[in-house]
Chains A and B, each alone.
Chain A
Amino acid sequence: MLKAQIIKKRREFSVNVSLELNKGKSLGLFGASGAGKSTVLACIAGIEEPDDGYVQLGHCQLFPPSLPLHKRPIGYLTQEPGLFPHLRVSENVSFGVPKERTTDKEQSRWIETLRDRLQLGPLWHAPASLISGGQARRVSLARMLARRPALVLLDEPFAGLDRQLVRELIDDLIFWSRTLGFSMIAVDHQAEVLKRLCPEQAIALEEGEIVQRGRWDELDAAPATALLRSLLNPL
């Protein structure tokens, strides 16, 4: 179970968000651009350090004190696939697998499963710097899953992708979250993406504060603020 309270001062406002998430469940963080969603995610991941609060994942205390990044059982996907350009696709996918496990049969099968399910076969030996943006997102998803994280954080990982690819990636994430049992927090300013990816619960943020939390149908039925109503309205 994830329990967190993030307090972080930004230039214009302070982010103050508390949340809880059971194992295997998903949560959508929703709000306008600049509402502080990505800050919350970055603080949970450890990319940024909160000014105050706490982050606890199961028995693992992530903050305070700040646990080093390499000890966090977290997968983190952002708009930028962040592939290592000097490595091949296969090397990127296996990047986080400890050297002593790379020859492990079970681990090899797992990597092959990821490769096949995410359709990475044709580009497996290609340099990561030469693949398309959509392919890079798949590779970065496979790389994250290869480590079997306990918690997956998604910071608008589908921005700029076509709808078909977004649908496929969302289906893949749902499939793997059920298979591996990881919890998932996703951030997006598009409600339809979050509703599909995290159908159970949502938190709406405005200027770093939670303005509403609950199920998506509750948010749709009675949005707490005019801005939230506007964001939830389809185009």
Chain B
Amino acid sequence: MRVDRSWLARAGATIFALVLLYPFTALFAPIGPWQWSEDIRGPALSSVRVSLWLTGCAMVIIVAIGTPVAAYIARCRTRERLVWQAVLLVPILLPPLGLGILLTLAFGPYGTVGACLERFGIVMTNSAPAFVSTQVYVGMGYYVLGAVAAFDAVPLMLQKQAALLGLAPWKVFLRVTFPLSRLGLAVALSIAWVRAIGEFGAVVVTAYYPSGMPVQLWVNLQSFGLPAVMPLLVVFLAVALPLPWLVHVLAQRQRHA
């Protein structure tokens, strides 16, 4: 009997997706009626605003700094590149709680940099700058490592051909390297976004206030129990997923345009 391989692959992928999404069936667990009263809704919606706005700021910083750094690392010789990659791995392999503690000690009022920043009115604990800087530390490694891989996938010869056609290096980047690595950059950005917006361990130490969604989930769990967690989880999925997904959609569209 002949088996259609494409169907076999699709069935395999479907089983994979079902297993991956299985934990979400717990949203229908019998935990009693979900709570979404005013005293829960108010802080929850405020945490949504905080998470979206401040994670957005963190992503702008990550892209602005991470993209040129990734472009540089992609052109490095193997030995130097390995050093950079180790540097990038350090903050992302550390347990988030550990990273949060280190960030608080380094940027808090008792650290040299923290004290210096406070003199300029920038408070680096329980503040928006603390929230954003924590997310930058959490997401930067993911973005840069992904972006390096994306730049690596663009044939070097194409970039040299573009230069020989009279384009200065920054124009080669804009007209060749960036368009051809767009999909990989989109993946890197979406991973950084997902990692940062869902960050709890580091943020709970550095920026309990203003509370983002993960911290608010914790507060709801502690104060009201599971029925107050579930609606916020749904809201979290609804607001955090569209942006990285849209980035993928745009990158795919441009690729096939």
Contact = CB atoms under 8 A, between A and B. Distances in A.
- Considering residues A72, A75, A80, A95, which has the most beta carbons from chain B within 10 angstroms of its beta carbon? A95
Contacts of A96: 165-167
A98 interface: yes
A147 B176 CA distance: 18
A79 B255 CA distance: 25
Interface in B158-181: 158, 160-169, 172, 175-176, 179-180
Contacts of B176: 84
A74 B161 CA distance: 11
Contacts of A47: 157, 160, 164
A76 B169 contact: no
Given A84-B176, A86-B180, A70 B158 contact: no
B166 A147 contact: yes
A154 B169 CA distance: 24
A98 B162 CA distance: 12
A189 interface: no
Contacts of B155: 82
Contacts of A74: 164
Interface string B130-170: 00000000000000000000000001011011111111110
B168 A82 contact: no
Nearest to B171: A70
Nearest to B165: A96
Contacts of A76: 161, 164
A65 interface: no
A147 B163 contact: no
Contacts of B164: 45-47, 69-70, 72, 74-76
A82 B166 contact: no
Interface of A is mostly: loop
Interface in B47-68: none
- Considering residues A78, A85, A143, which has the most beta carbons from chain B within 10 angstroms of its beta carbon? A85
Contacts of A82: 155, 157-158, 161
A227 B167 CA distance: 41
A103 to B, nearest CB: 17
Interface residues of A, number: 22
A68 interface: yes
B157 A80 contact: yes
A219 to B, nearest CB: 30
B162 A84 contact: yes
Contacts of A98: 166
Given A86-B179, A86-B180, A70 B161 contact: no
B6 to A, nearest CB: 24
Given A84-B176, A86-B179, A70 B163 contact: yes
Contacts of B160: 47, 69
Contact of B165 (A68, A80, A86, A143): A143
A143 B169 CA distance: 19
A70 B175 CA distance: 14
A147 B167 CA distance: 12
Contacts of B175: 84, 95
Given A80-B157, A82-B157, A147 B165 contact: yes
Interface in B188-245: none
Nearest to B255: A86
B157 A70 contact: no
A104 to B, nearest CB: 15
20 contacts: A45-B164, A47-B164, A68-B163, A69-B160, A69-B164, A70-B164, A70-B167, A70-B169, A76-B161, A80-B157, A82-B155, A84-B175, A84-B176, A85-B180, A86-B254, A95-B162, A95-B165, A98-B166, A144-B165, A147-B166
Interface of B: 155, 157-158, 160-169, 172, 175-176, 179-180, 254-255
Interface of A: 45-47, 68-70, 72, 74-76, 78, 80, 82, 84-86, 95-96, 98, 143-144, 147
Given A46-B164, A82-B157, A82-B161, 17 more contacts: A47-B160, A68-B168, A69-B163, A69-B164, A70-B163, A70-B164, A70-B165, A70-B167, A70-B168, A70-B172, A82-B155, A84-B158, A84-B180, A86-B254, A95-B165, A98-B166, A143-B165
The 10 closest A-B pairs by CB, nearest first: A96-B165, A69-B163, A82-B161, A86-B179, A70-B163, A96-B166, A69-B164, A70-B168, A76-B164, A70-B166
